[in-house]
Structures are given as C-alpha cells and as structure tokens.
Amino acid sequence: MQKSLSFVDTFRAAMSRTAAGVAIIATDGPGGRSGATVSSFSSLSLEPPSVLACIHLTSHTLAAIRLNRVFCVNVLGEDQAALAEIFARDCEPRSARFAQGAWRKAGSGAPMLEGAVAHFDCRLATEFGFGSHAIVVGEATDALSHEGRPLIYSARAFHRLP
C-alpha cells in the first residue's frame, strides 16, 4: 500500500527534480572562521553586482557572517563533492572543516578555496528573514573564475555535467 505523503514531502520530491550548483559559503573575522555547503546560492543583480544565499537560522555560519559582515562564495568544481559533504556534516569545532582543502584569504579576509571554479568575495549588504531561513545578500567586491566544470546537486546526489 502506498503511504500518503505530507505536503512537505511532496514539495521536497518536486525540488529534488531541480538541479543546482554547489558552493561553500565561508567567512572569517571577529565572529570566527566558519563555512557551510549551500545549493541555494544565486546571482541577484548586476547593478550592483550581488549574490544571495538562503541559510537556515540555526546555521553557525550565518551567525558568523552576521558578525564578520563579509563572506566568500566558493563555487565547487566537479571533483570537490567530498568537500561539499565535509562542510555539510556536523563537526566540533566548526573551524576543523577547514583542515580539508587548500584555503587562503580573499581580499575581504574570508576563506577562499583552491580548485573552486568561481569565487565571489562579498560584503554583507542586507538580509531578509522568511520562515526557517535568512536570505543573505552579498555585494560582490571581487569575482574570480577558473577553468573547470561545476559540481551539480540534483535528486539528492552530486553529479558531473555530461
């Protein structure tokens, strides 16, 4: 017998049919170093160049971004799925996640990941709350792109572009 799905399950199932790039949003400063995997990252506007990400209100990285006022969006390459998993998994202290991967500082001081296909170094411009998440808006102060193809998240799994 087929179980009836709650609307949240139906919504999740429909969202799993979409495809998204994967990024590590990372920050450093007086609030400490923190980073988390996000697939909700998107371009927002060209005037001014800006991006957004939707981050759960319980996220340690959101708390650090609010204090540091800067972050770098590191768009992962197709070989970086293991890093996406590490930056999504619970770990204490949170900064221990940075033991994996080669990191250096972007102009803002936020962590920048070697091998990412794009970097958007941002200052926190504003944030909006809706439901369980904050929509974090970053005004880009620098943007870098590199050879390579992006990691894709779809149907609850990581993929490479064909």
In the complex, the residues that contact ligand FMN under the rule CB under 6 A are: 22, 34, 36-40, 54-56, 59-61, 84, 88, 90, 94, 153
CA pair distance 73, 27, nearest whole angstrom? 9
Q: Which is nearer to ligand FMN, 132 or 145 (CB)?
A: 132
Maximal CA-CA distance, the chain: 57
The distance of closest approach from Cβ of residue 153 to ligand FMN in the complex, given in angstroms and rounded to an integer, is: 4
Q: Which is nearer to ligand FMN, 47 or 60 (CB)?
A: 60
Q: Which is nearer to ligand FMN, 34 or 80 (CB)?
A: 34
The distance of closest approach from Cβ of residue 4 to ligand FMN in the complex, given in angstroms and rounded to an integer, is: 27
Q: Which is nearer to ligand FMN, 3 or 17 (CB)?
A: 17
